[in-house]
Amino acid sequence: MENNDDLQNIEKAIEAINKLCSRCSVCTPECHVAAAKRAMEALRYDLQSYNE
C-alpha cells in the first residue's frame, strides 16, 4: 500500500516539475529543472522495478 502512495507522490512531483519547465529550445544537463525531472523519473523507475 505504501509503495502505491509513493508512486502517486512521485507522479505529482513530476507533474509539478513539468509545470516549472520553460521548454527551452536546448535542454542542458546543468538545468536544475531537468536534473530534478531525471531524478524523479529514475526514482519512479526504481520503485516500479522494486514492486515487480
> What is the pLDDT, as a whole number, of residue 1?
43
> What is the pLDDT, as a whole number, of residue 29?
83
> What is the pLDDT, as a whole number, of residue 51?
81
3-state helix, strand, coil in the chain (%, to 5): 75, 0, 25
Tens of pLDDT, residue by residue, the chain (52 residues): 467 899 999 999 999 999 999 888 888 888 999 999 999 999 999 999 988 8
Phi-psi region of 28 (alpha: psi -120 to 50; beta: other; left: phi over 0): beta
pTM across the whole model? 0.81
Supply the Cα-derived Rg of the chain in whole angstroms: 12
